[in-house]
Amino acid sequence: MTTALAQKIKSLILANGPISVTDYFALCLADPEHGYYKTRNPFGRAGDFVTAPEISQLFGEMVGIFLVVAWQRHGEPLDARIVEIGPGRGTMMADMLRVVARLAPRLYETASIHLVETSPALQTVQRETLSAHGGKIAWHTSFDEFRTASR
């Protein structure tokens, strides 16, 4: 049995020739109609896997501490950007921001926060998870979109 996504990939190859591994994975994960992250919520006990931030808040808190130390060592710049690619449910960013806000309020207040997420469904979950941070967070559907927006 061939899936609709497999048919789409075959058609693209027949029409245009071989595709790169990068393009293949982009289709498998982010195709608007059939992509893995576009068609389901794979996280948690009911999903396909669990990530470290979902098991313990310690992971995100430690990354938050690292960010604070790195920011301090770089002279506490006022234009810091915190970017997470593939933020899942937003759990790690929530844990990071909680620590950053507590340890370095100025970093929390002045940094711009960006999430790169291709799935509208996951963006909705992330908005709920990160609702305590109001309008501080910007969403982007690709890293290139983030780079263009942050210039």
Q: Where are the domains of the chain?
A: 1-39, 51-149
Return the percentage of the chain with pLDDT > 90, whole number.
Answer: 62
How far the first Cα of the chain sits from its last, in Å, is 46
Would you tell me how many other CB atoms lie within 10 Å of the CB of residue 53? 23
Fold annotation for 51-149: Rossmann fold (3.40.50)
User: In terms of pLDDT, which residue wins out, 31 or 10?
Assistant: 10
Buried b (16+ CB within 10 A) or exposed e, 37-50: bbeebbbeeeeeee
Mean pLDDT of 2-22: 93
Would you tell me how many other CB atoms lie within 10 Å of the CB of residue 77? 11
Mean pLDDT of 67-96: 96
pTM: 0.78
pLDDT at position 46 over 80: no
